[in-house]
């Protein structure tokens, strides 16, 4: 059995650091089980959140929604992606038409294999993140942007990620691409396992490939993950 974990919102608070007591518990879990991590963020951000002692001790680390693979801190695979110019223009239109009143810094972040877009901007504070997330749950702005990108660009995919952003990538280059690397049974834990969320593609691949003995666990916070792992142990 392989246990696979999203990071942000699943092992840690959104954009925050792993809880010290949970970290100790999770380190003990890693020693007894085969564990993979998959994050929409890059290597440095993931290490910042969970620590190199966890990041370096799991069997595999997939970064940027599976578009980079690290094993024993060695980059084994990387997929490059450039957002079409027309889509960059669409993101500017999203910024203009958004009804959210505040803006904080960089809105478009290019990553290996993906582009991350945020209306509020990536320089906002944690409190401002939470305010936007609460507002977006009511107004569904990010889901609307995801739908429009998919409608306009059939070769692209988009998904809601974290509290403030969406991820955009080439069709098929989402988190679900890692399922092909899994031999045997697995369990996946993620906080965005709903349609339009950036963990949902793993659920879709599980169904499409008719994988038996595999399951996904939808969580809302790292505390849900901790509770589920206690039930496994």
- Tens digit of each residue's pLDDT (9 = 90 or more) over 104-149: 988 998 887 888 999 999 899 989 999 999 999 999 999 999 999 9
- Pair (181, 69) in one structural domain: yes
- Pair (148, 92) in one structural domain: yes
Which residue, 10, 76, 75, is CA-closest to 49? 10
DSSP state string for 108-162: EEEETTEEEEESS-TT--HHHHHHHHHHHHHH-HHHHHHHHHHHH-TTEEEEEET
- Pair (117, 135) in one structural domain: yes
**pLDDT for the residue 114:** 85
Domain boundary among 170, 186, 212: 170
Q: Is the pLDDT of residue 22 over 90?
A: yes
- Pair (89, 166) in one structural domain: yes
**pLDDT for the residue 19:** 96
- Pair (120, 13) in one structural domain: no
- Pair (160, 227) in one structural domain: no
Range of the structural domain that residue 69 is part of: 2-78+176-232
- Pair (160, 183) in one structural domain: no
**pLDDT for the residue 228:** 95
- Pair (103, 52) in one structural domain: no
What is the number of domains present in the chain?
2
- Pair (7, 53) in one structural domain: yes
- Pair (65, 105) in one structural domain: no
**pLDDT for the residue 162:** 79
Q: How far apart are CA 100 and CA 119, in angstroms?
A: 8
- Pair (180, 166) in one structural domain: no
Pairing state between β 60-63 and 68-71? antiparallel
Domain boundary among 125, 155, 170: 170
Q: How far apart are CA 201 and CA 179, in angstroms?
A: 10
pTM listed for this prediction: 0.81
- Pair (67, 10) in one structural domain: yes
CATH code where residue 109 lies = 3.30.1240.20
Q: Are 192 and 200 in contact (CB under 8 A)?
A: yes
- Tens digit of each residue's pLDDT (9 = 90 or more) over 35-87: 999 998 899 999 999 999 999 999 999 999 899 999 999 999 998 888 888 89
């Amino acid at each position: 059995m392989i246990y696979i974990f999203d990071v942000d919102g699943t092992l840690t608070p959104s954009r925050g650091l792993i809880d010290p007591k949970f970290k100790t518990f999770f380190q003990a879990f890693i020693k007894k089980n085969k564990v993979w991590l998959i994050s929409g963020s890059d290597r440095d951000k993931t290490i910042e959140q969970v620590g190199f002692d966890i990041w370096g001790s799991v069997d595999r680390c997939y970064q940027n929604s599976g578009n980079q693979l690290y094993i024993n801190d060695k980059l084994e695979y990387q997929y490059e992606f450039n957002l079409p110019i027309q889509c960059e223009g669409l993101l500017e239109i999203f910024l203009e038409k958004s009804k959210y009143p505040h803006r904080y810094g960089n809105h478009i972040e290019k990553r290996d294999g993906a582009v991350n877009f945020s209306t509020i901007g990536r320089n906002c504070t944690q409190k401002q993140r939470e305010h936007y997330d609460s507002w977006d749950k009511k107004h569904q702005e990010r889901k609307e942007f995801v739908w429009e990108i998919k409608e306009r660009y059939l070769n692209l995919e988009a998904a809601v990620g974290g509290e403030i952003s969406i991820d955009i990538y080439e069709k098929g280059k989402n988190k679900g691409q890692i399922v092909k690397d899994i031999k045997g049974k697995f369990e996946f834990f993620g906080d965005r396992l709903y349609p339009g969320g950036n963990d949902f593609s793993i659920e879709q691949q599980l169904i499409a490939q008719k994988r038996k003995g595999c399951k996904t666990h939808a969580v809302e916070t790292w505390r849900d993950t901790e509770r589920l792992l206690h039930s496994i142990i």
